[in-house]
Structure 1
Amino acid sequence: MTDATPGSPRVRWADPGDAAAVAARIEAEVRLGTPRRIAFTGGSTPLKVLALLATRDLDWSQVTIALTDDRRVPDDHPASNFGKIHAALGATGARFERLVEGMAVAPFDLVWLGMGDDGHVASLFPTMQALVRPGPTVIATTPVPLPVEAPFDRLTLNEMALKATAEIILVVTGAAKRALLDRVLAGTDVAALAYPVSDVLRGCGPQVTIYWSE
């Protein structure tokens, strides 16, 4: 691991930061053999990691898997994060916790986040319609504008729920997203500091480990 910039003591860069390294981090959490609560990110990036985890001899019976966010679609819809994760790990014996609007969220041991090109995390977007609720909970959001590739309303953990954890891992790929993270961590770009990911990296909260690969 390497530290990020001065002034960001909670942020570290994983080295390596590829899918195998992320899988190893999740595996280490599962192998502790005690009750664990892990929040999984959605989207396309986790699929390689989930494929690696599905082939390993792991006892998931002590693990509760939640989602950081999901699209409000049926489980069998191609855009369903729950559907993808359950298809990969549903036979492992893990418990699955669904997102329910307004549900109070218990603390996690590990939260796995991704990030969009616009700096959004989970389904907390730079511009969105959202029903604000107190405490660590699940809220409904609608990105503005709706992404063409995923034009759906969402359910998401709010910022308090995302940060109610021992550690956050932020998994990103590509040069453009690396450049965005560098802008946020530098702390000199006012526009970048408005991205939701800035609240994760620079606001109060747990240790954040960034797994980045090209």
Structure 2
Amino acid sequence: MKVQVFRTPQDTAAAAAEAFAEAARRAVAERGAFHVALSGGSTPKLMYAALRDMKVPWQRVHIYFSDERTVAPDDEQSNYHTAKVGLLDFVPVPAEQVHRLKGELDPAQAAREYAALLPAQLDVVLLGMGDDGHTASLFPGTDGLQQGGRVIANEVPQQFTWRLSFTFEEINAARERWLLVTGAAKAPVLAQVARGEGDFPVARVHDPVWYLDAAAAAELPKSGRRAQS
């Protein structure tokens, strides 16, 4: 595992923000644009705040989302809404370069439309991990774990809802995959994933870079970590 451990969630988010800015500058220099998929969760909120004042070539950044709830874009549960109020309202990304998953549409239609507008390859996909080991909206026991293609509508019975999500095929096709995981509640599952135990969806993400705080990493072996201050 490529693991970086930081003291607090704030430190973890700041490190991820710095890596985001660096990856954006590198992608723009090499390919003329940076195509990145954002995720939901609490750690990205902290990352968004850190990114506001960083040197990022926003005019060349294209924003996507790795998953979305089936809600309107102004709903507080919407991943797009979280990114908008936390980051996009503060930085000069051209509006036409922000591509949201349309959670207000029929889920199957929204998934088809989003798959059609994605670039050939994303530079970075940002992901989180739930206490149950899910990532994006690929939850344990759901049909989406077995589906191919790029974007799917995934029924999540344990949440009594449908979700829109990248498939593992799409996630693993990106140039880089980053998992931002913080909090003691994540530690037991993360330790099992590190040992190759269990059948957690997040284990299907190929060769990710893990950005962890000390609480999430508490049950990992000390060897193999890159500890940060």
How does the TM-score come out when normalised to structure 2? 0.76
Deviation string, structure 1 residues 139-198 (Cα, Å, up to 9, x no partner): 00122211xxxx5421110110111111111110122313211211212x3xx2x11011
CA contact (8 A) 2:138 2:145 kept: no
1:133 CA drift (Å): 5.4
Output the CA distance in 1 between the equivalents of 2:140 and 2:169: 17
CA contact (8 A) 2:145 2:201 kept: no
1:208 has 2:208 as partner: yes
Instruction: Provide the residue aligned with 1:115 in structure 2.
Output: 129
Equivalent of residue 101 in structure 1, options 111, 116, 119: 111
1:25 CA drift (Å): 0.8
Q: How many residues align?
A: 190
Determine what percentage of the aligned residue pairs are the same residue. Answer: 34
Three-state SS of the structure 2 residue aligned to 1:31 is helix
1:54 CA drift (Å): 1.3
1:129 CA drift (Å): 4.8
CA contact (8 A) 2:129 2:180 kept: yes
Instruction: Provide the residue aligned with 1:127 in structure 2.
Output: 141
1:161 has 2:159 as partner: no
Return 5+ residue gaps in structure 1 as ranges.
1-10
Instruction: Provide the residue aligned with 1:83 in structure 2.
Output: 81
Equivalent of residue 155 in structure 2, options 142, 156, 161: 142
Does 67-76 or 178-187 show the bigger shift? 178-187
Q: Give the direction of change, closer, same or farther, for the CA distance of 1:175–1:158 in structure 2 (3 Å limit).
A: same
Does 67-76 or 33-42 show the bigger shift? 33-42
Equivalent of residue 179 in structure 1, options 173, 185, 188: 188
Output the CA distance in 2 between the equivalents of 1:173 and 1:80: 20
Which amino acid in the other structure matches residue 96 of structure 1?
Answer: V
Instruction: Provide the residue aligned with 2:225 in structure 1.
Output: none
CA contact (8 A) 1:131 1:139 kept: no
Which amino acid in the other structure matches residue 114 of structure 1?
Answer: G
Q: Give the direction of change, closer, same or farther, for the CA distance of 1:126–1:68 in structure 2 (3 Å limit).
A: same
Which amino acid in the other structure matches residue 111 of structure 2?
Answer: E
Q: Give the direction of change, closer, same or farther, for the CA distance of 1:71–1:80 in structure 2 (3 Å limit).
A: same
CA contact (8 A) 2:145 2:167 kept: no
Three-state SS of the structure 2 residue aligned to 1:65 is strand
Output the CA distance in 1 between the equivalents of 2:22 and 2:173: 20
More helix by share: 2
Does 160-169 or 172-181 show the bigger shift? 172-181
Equivalent of residue 198 in structure 1, options 203, 208, 217: 203
Return 5+ residue gaps in structure 2 as ranges.
102-109, 216-229
Output the CA distance in 2 between the equivalents of 1:92 and 1:132: 38
Three-state SS of the structure 1 residue aligned to 2:208 is strand
CA contact (8 A) 2:139 2:156 kept: yes
